[in-house]
Chain A
């Protein structure tokens, strides 16, 4: 989603006739005085110099061209691009600043500076300059497009969405712009709109692996798992050697009812095999001292208010500072509360923006990371692919798209617990299992969570079931099971809450799916998104949470527990099928797991028929969670340190 630049003209922009006219004019002028070359001539000279590999002289020529035509946006952008190619962005930035001072009312030099700043990782300043430029030239949609790209790269999604919409209104035929817009919509949890945009791009200009990957994700997030899987299959058929096609399949597989642990492991292995990696594994200079202080790298992912943040932060904060120090290797979100806590806990920070996997791996190695913990997987902001370059001697997979085994031979360990991977499950993983004595995560409850509400059953006279999961997890088998529960408990209601349900089309499809099992629409309440605190408060309307399968709830299950609502789960074999089981077991509610769909339905009905037990459980649940290992950050931090130390000692012995 980088801002795009005008291509270099294959030949000088003017045709032969212009050249002849120019030459004759030049001859005429030459009789009087030597005429200075104009912008087009300097641009032509620059193109020639670029072609012959003389980048710095080319940059100088382009600078002359731009001085002759300072209003040209093309020239400003080419300058910025060439300055980066030539490795001289800082000097060019100063020259463009001088040009701005000379022509303060021209947007082009501002845009050139903005793109240089963007390339230097200074996205905030870049966006501000582009905002000034768009104010000066509101009719030039190219500036909006550049602004949108910079904002998206800076993870300022609502502002990016607005800029994309403006740019697209001016130029609806710009497919690449529309594609990037679709990605931003998807990140903003508007998968249905994203899907429409991406399908429009597909219809207009055909496929590529990136488009198919994004389209599959958007389709999945709308709750259309089979269609998403179809798109993934098409991607794999068309681009079998492309890692992205494999990643697309790997992203959809865990949500399908029939996917088992072995299928996931094999798909992950096939995906990992396509990743670029060095021919020979590198040697490490890290001292093989089992007892020394270790430097941990937290790779990729959203180290912020996000499941990764809520489930890992407290553990990292409570690592013994004498034994471990942290380096964040992820985008930083200065306005985010949890991001600031990560930053405060870390000794250093590496911003991966704009760095290739090789460059990133090089930087991680240079930083002397002993244990690299991947927290992003194949996700949107994840950089797990850099692990294939073996940047650290010990590499561990933890939360963050931790659906199942990564399949990467370079990932040595998989952080888990005895509920996620009981005896006999090791064969489902390509990594060695690094088992925690309690649950594999530690929860940071939000400081502003509302109080636990009284059981809604008491006020309403009927039980209310609910699920607040990502709609991607709600497949046909899950809807069938929920419908059976509603049939078994006659007056009961069901609240399904998920971002895409705000879209009428998605909501209608879900209602119809329940309708096919004979569930009247009035027994269903479909809810769209809300702010986090309001989201938590809505658990006050639910008596029992019903889990999804095979992909179970993660943070959602934990948050429901915090809000006094237990989740009934149906665990499977894969890692993502056992999240809820792990969290429930960690607070001593392991019996809330069903053995099969029939048992799931029977347990739901039986528990709904025992309001007294439910009310007692609800009343004491927050205190129980607070006192459980799930929220015991000190205990978790100590155990995490022991586990990581074990992985390190293993490497030292090799």
Chain B
């Protein structure tokens, strides 16, 4: 026990706390941080560490309060701005993030992390070429920083220069062939661009280096099956499954190949597990894969709802809201209040951080509708029907919760051309349910809806391949 506490002791304790936080040992960092606050006078470093810990613990409000007070007390300390910029970015406020990151760069021009944060914030704001400039400087200062490198490649892709992005990643792999994140991203870009042989070569190089990674094996399986090398693809899928047996994303990837038996339906646990594991990267991943549905829903509402006349729309229920992509798409429209429902707690945390929903509920969509007493002007379901087979119960429950004339807008997957169910619905090779337009039309009529639109729409890209589907707009009769 520290009898008398000097600044050296405090510095040592802060160093230990920083180590604990960096290694994810939060249960050790928390009591130590509490002790430091008892033993030491407030300082910029303590405020910064406390905020970092609070962010790691998911206590975002506490972190923000800490940082606001810290910046008021020590306005010259760049680390506080860096942390607040990161927090703002986490909460989806790119403009605030850019402002704080810029302030940190002004205070500490050599701060590579601050510069990189500014770059990513600029990218969020759609300023890809400014972002590239910032990130290139950060990377030049720390060429072995994988996060900087991945961010630069993303900015280059967004700026319409995939060749530069590929060169950035290639250089990263030359510097550190064992960098798994860099290799995964390179493979993903190759797959998105249909360069399957390149993806296979990247995976083979990994194997030669002794890298055994579930995602790399899984993506190699996809690339090989695209090349028609089904035997090799099967063995890569099996390898992926061995390396990541309890990784829901890998399981999903492998289920697609038929290497593990399909369940009769995607059970609630399965859906929850897939998305809980996926939540932090869901937005970037889906948007990066060209997920268009939120935008389609926005356009549909602008065509058919009171929004068309400039009037507000509400209340609105977002079923399977996930991380809140639909809410983001509706951000500037008078859609209030917007309520969200999803099975995955992790997804809901991300949705909550966006602060766009009046309420969020962790529940199964059907169960929630049956328990809910409210009446809605519109009920939306983006990329959710692919986890359901028979749509009758859900459509009936949606109808029951809609005001007369209320809108039901949802997306569905129709399956690839050869596999699309001629009538009714079926489980596709992708492990997702497909519904035929005729079936949806009939089910809508059975539930008491008038069909306003049933438009074929590409849903998103799945490893570079468009996923065919439709957008349905129904009106409660």
Contacts and interface: CB of A to CB of B under 8 A. Distances in A.
Interface stretch (B26-34, B60-68, B281-289): B26-34
Contacts of A131: 20, 25, 28
Nearest to B247: A340
Contacts of A140: 1
A162 interface: no
B210 A136 contact: no
Interface string B231-251: 000000001001111100000
Contact of A343 (B12, B20, B30, B246): B246
B120 to A, nearest CB: 30
B429 interface: no
Contacts of A26: none
A450 interface: yes
Interface residues of B, number: 31
A54 B244 CA distance: 51
Interface stretch (B35-43, B89-97, B141-149, B403-411): B35-43
Contacts of B244: 340
B2 interface: yes
Given A105-B2, A135-B32, A137-B2, A447 B239 contact: yes
Contact of A132 (B20, B37, B242, B246): B20
A132 B28 contact: yes
Contacts of A110: 31
B27 A135 contact: no
A101 B30 CA distance: 11
Contact of B31 (A129, A137, A343): A129
B274 interface: no
B211 interface: yes
B1 A128 contact: no
Q: Give the dominant DSSP class at A's interface.
A: helix
B25 A128 contact: yes
A24 to B, nearest CB: 31
Contacts of B26: 128
Nearest to B32: A132
A129 B27 contact: yes
B34 A104 contact: yes
Interface string A73-108: 000000000000000000000000000110011111
Given A104-B35, A105-B35, A136-B32, A448 B210 contact: yes
Contacts of A125: 27
B217 A447 contact: yes
B13 interface: yes
Contacts of B2: 105, 136-137
A614 interface: no
B210 A450 contact: yes
Contacts of B239: 447
A125 B29 CA distance: 11
B1 A344 contact: no
Contacts of B27: 124-125, 128-129, 132
B44 interface: no
A444 to B, nearest CB: 8
A129 B35 CA distance: 12
Nearest to A536: B210
B212 interface: yes
B1 A135 contact: no
Nearest to A344: B245
Contact of A105 (B16, B39, B246): B39
Nearest to A109: B31
A172 B244 CA distance: 45
A137 B13 CA distance: 10
Contacts of A448: 207, 210-212
A135 B245 contact: no
A124 B25 CA distance: 9
A136 B242 contact: no
Nearest to B244: A340
Contacts of A447: 212, 217, 239, 242-243
A337 interface: yes
Interface in A628-653: none
A7 to B, nearest CB: 23
Contacts of A104: 31, 34-35, 37-38
Interface string B4-19: 0000000011001100
Nearest to B209: A448
Nearest to B240: A447
A128 B29 CA distance: 8
B241 to A, nearest CB: 9
Interface string A323-351: 00000000000000100110111000000
A124 B243 CA distance: 24
B207 A128 contact: no
Contact of B13 (A71, A133, A136): A136
Contact of B242 (A101, A341, A343): A341
A5 to B, nearest CB: 19
B205 to A, nearest CB: 13
A14 interface: no
Contacts of B210: 448, 450, 533
Nearest to B239: A447
Contacts of B13: 135-136
28 contacts: A100-B34, A101-B34, A104-B35, A105-B2, A105-B38, A106-B35, A108-B1, A110-B31, A125-B27, A128-B20, A128-B26, A128-B27, A132-B20, A132-B31, A132-B32, A133-B31, A135-B13, A136-B1, A136-B2, A136-B13, A337-B242, A337-B243, A340-B245, A344-B245, A345-B245, A447-B242, A447-B243, A448-B211
Given A104-B34, A106-B1, 18 more contacts: A104-B38, A105-B38, A110-B31, A128-B20, A129-B27, A131-B28, A132-B27, A132-B29, A132-B35, A135-B28, A135-B32, A136-B1, A136-B13, A341-B245, A343-B245, A345-B245, A446-B212, A447-B243
The 3 A-B residue pairs whose C-beta atoms are closest, nearest first, are A344-B245, A128-B28, A128-B27
